[in-house]
Structure 1
Amino acid sequence: MAGVRAASGPGLACTAGNVCAVARTVKRAFKYRFYPTREQAAELARTFGCVRLVYNMALQQALRHLQVAFTNFWAKRARYPVFKSRKRSRRSAEYTTSAFRFRDGELTLAKMLEPLEIVWSRPLPAGASPSTVTVSHDAAGRWFVSLLCNDVIEQVPAPGTGVVGIDAGIDSLLTLSTGEKITNPRHERADRQRLARVQRNLARKEKGSANRAKARLNVARIHARIADRRRDHLHKLTTRLVRENQTLVIEDLTVRNMVKNRSLARAISDAGWRQFRTMLEYRTDWHGRNLVAVDRWFPSSKLCSTCGARADRMPLNVRSWTCRCGTVHDRDVNAARNILAAGLAVTACGDGVRPQRETSRTGRSSAKQENPRATKGIPVL
């Protein structure tokens, strides 16, 4: 897995055929699995404990991480920072350049005599020199090392001027304005019976016993398998969408509020909408694409993408409907087309998309209002 941390300006990269393509230098974290020796695992466990202690006591090394936590809290992106727990907190430690040695493809951490046994599932960029190294130990008992280094990404132009509107859903993971529906793999549902069985087994174990620790590990492994499959699918999906289109339009969904619906929370969490958007954001930035987010209150499902008429109601159980103009709409395809049209309007006019809503100061909408005559006589669905 690779993630983006920071990016610098674009440059030019020329191929052997003297064809120059725009390239972008970004900071990418290349993550690999490794298998520590018994001594290395013990040393890392002590390091994780020190990191937790330093964070909780607000001393020097962890102040930057604590500052980020409070910054996210004040920006309303996270809750108030809490003390790190030995059982529930993520076990990880970050090493700066003075605390590790990377030489000849081998990584040796401070206070360790031998290099880590890393499974190099893919090569690092040529001449890469990691600036920081993060070691983590997940709940499933797996060890990972993440190396942050510079990488040059060629921004290959998209074929033509492709544009696409994307409607996120549950029955279909994504519906495109082209009419294509991408199947929802439902990774959690596929392993739901196995997960329920090991969770029942965990509940029967005595707290604090060795058998309970083994049962907890079995539960964590199934959760890890579900998360890995979901992440892999979203990586491939976002890569394909960014390569095929120059402009992508999505809805600005508030997943945090949507999962409060008990009937849909499990399905929404399994779909990974928030993770999908995060991947789409940094990939469009890498490759010079345009990503437009339409306001969450835009009535994409209620509008007729042919004549612009608006239905008064559109319950979730209505999957297709007929407009007054005679057009029969698939609910999701129609929504994707409306999202695309709204996004292109935002790009062209530079205005927000909030039909039928008023601002608190001016009393006027930030976008054009629909013609009231267009919605007159529309049947209630």
Structure 2
Amino acid sequence: MSAEKTLVRLSGITKDYPKVATGGDRLRTLASLFLRRGDTPHFRALDGIDLEVHRGESLGLVGENGAGKSTLLKIIAGVVKPTRGTVGVAGRVGALLELGSGFHPEYTGRENIDLAAALMGLSRRETRARVDEIVAFADIGAHIDEPIKHYSSGMVVRLGFAVATTLKPDILITDEVLAVGDESFQKKCIAWLERFLADGGTLLLCSHSMFHIQTLCRRAVWLHHGQQRLYGDAFDVTREYLAYHEEKSRTEKLAHRAAPNMQVPRIIEAWIEDGEGERCTHFAKGGTLVVQGIAHEPEDQPPVVLVGLVRIDGTPVFGAITNEDGFVPPRLEPTRFGFAVRFENLSLLPGKYRARTHVMDVQGLRLFDTVEMEFTVAGETREFGLVALPHEWTAGRGGNA
């Protein structure tokens, strides 16, 4: 794309915050500032971020809490200055960052509309022409004439979103806005964002909801400990991000299992077999897969067992639970019960999967333990999705037989 269509350009953006959590940190920071030393104790929130956003693009930011997402958005919005690097932003920016930021708590909602519009450079006439539209979008009723300090968090977000969007920014920056508010307001926000993007607007969306990132954004950036870990197509980035969390969760569960609590139900052992009873991790499409295991129940009562199959990125495919299928795990020895579930004519499409075994209490209400096992379905196919469903093509009612 040509340079004139670039609305945001970041080069080498680094942001350090001084450490002041303890008295010692504060003293060292003050000493460094007074002595003009460059060794001020600091926390690095962002490290060498390079990024360009073009007009009409929709870019999502994903990452764990503390990864630097909010800091990056604040730098783009001009709220925070970077420690190093250059920032170039062209066009009017509408930012919905921290809840209620930019609002005066003692002013009413209507007065805060006037204040926000003035800060955005609108004249009194332009503001008056848009007040009714803003009030209608916020839909907070008579509360519009009450001080902001009496608003709920959802009401603050409603008003903030109404102000930011009605002023028609060139770039809209949102930080977890869709996580607050009721379902009807979320639908209203998403509908507005879809119209905004369809009209050529530019969106920077920070969210922990991969659904919203995939729905609203074409591209995404994954920030990890302040660094840019992955940038690309939104579906590719979110898939890798979800796979990272699946692996992280699996590692944490393995660490937890290293010191098991034998006073609660747990999976003693679980494994995968083929149709001949051989343990394996590679299966052919259409073959047989058997998930087996031994569960511990401290009260010596048959537990409820759940076995699920998921894609490697965590997408659920199928789950079976013993009490729904009328199966009672048999007692192998005191407090130990066996189970196996057999999948004939495996319909999974080629790819990597996980089998998850879960043990629950005897009522099937509480889940206590999980064991995961990876396996691969081999083969080549041009079919799409997760499973191969029996199907037949016909001419249809409107065609010729």
TM superposition score normalised by structure 2: 0.20
Which protein has the larger Cα radius of gyration, Structure 1 or Structure 2? 2
Structure whose residues are more often helix by fraction: 1
User: Which structure's residues are more often strand, by fraction?
Assistant: 2
